[in-house]
Structure 1
Amino acid sequence: MKIEASILVAILVFEFVVSAAKGQEVCSLTVGELMECRPAATPPKPENPSAACCKALKHADFKCLCNYLDNPVLPSLNIDPKLALQIPKKCGLPTPQC
């Protein structure tokens, strides 16, 4: 079972990297914009969101992003979904209801 889960995570990470290389968007954000927010969602001491992160979140599709909160790729990228949910408020934006 662990091997199957590891393979699934590896495939998802691969897809994420390929999408980034192609410049694709996720929930109205480019992968580069999403990565701007990563330091603010990385434990144990998340940084304050950058101006670039907050600017990107102004046009994000939060309903879509909520669908990714349980994605097994996030922990493999050292992203804490609970911390990620706090970022909009820190940017002065409405907190998404997921």
Structure 2
Amino acid sequence: MGNSKLVALMVVMVVTVAIVVKTEAVDLCKMSEDGLMACKPAVTAPVPADPTAECCAALSGADLSCLCSYRNSFVLPSLGIDPDLAMALPSKCNLTPPANC
């Protein structure tokens, strides 16, 4: 196989992988990307909004213990989520937060 064909094949492979990764929905602890986006105004500093009904519905189906495990990681801040506001969200949605969270 010539160099130009090899380069073309590599480009096609990279583009294919990028498309597949881009089309996969974000799913964090059983919360869909839509659920995360519904809650984002309530977990964004400096002036968070009250959680919406859509946010609380999404949070009610989430794995709260799993979400708690992200409290001290870089993941939440990298998504624009304030970890302290996120940990307060279950109480604001009248959900029982996990113990030791």
Q: What is the TM-score with the length of structure 2 in the denominator?
A: 0.69
Aligned residue in 2 for 1:51:
53
The correspondence for 1:31, drawn from 33, 42, 52, is: 33
Q: What's the % identity of the aligned pairs?
A: 47
C-alpha RMSD of matched pairs (Å): 2.0
Gaps of 5+ in 1: 1-17
**How big is each residue's C-alpha offset from its partner over 1:37-95, in whole Å with a ceiling of 9 and x where there is no partner?**
11111111100001100001111101111111222132233311111111111111112
The whole-number CA distance in structure 2 between the counterparts of 1:79 and 1:93 is 19
Deviating above 3 A after TM superposition, structure 1's stretches of 4 or more consecutive aligned residues are 18-21
- Equivalences, count: 81
The whole-number CA distance in structure 1 between the counterparts of 2:41 and 2:48 is 6
Bigger Rg, structure 1 or 2: 2
Q: What is the TM-score with the length of structure 1 in the denominator?
A: 0.71
The whole-number CA distance in structure 1 between the counterparts of 2:88 and 2:22 is 24
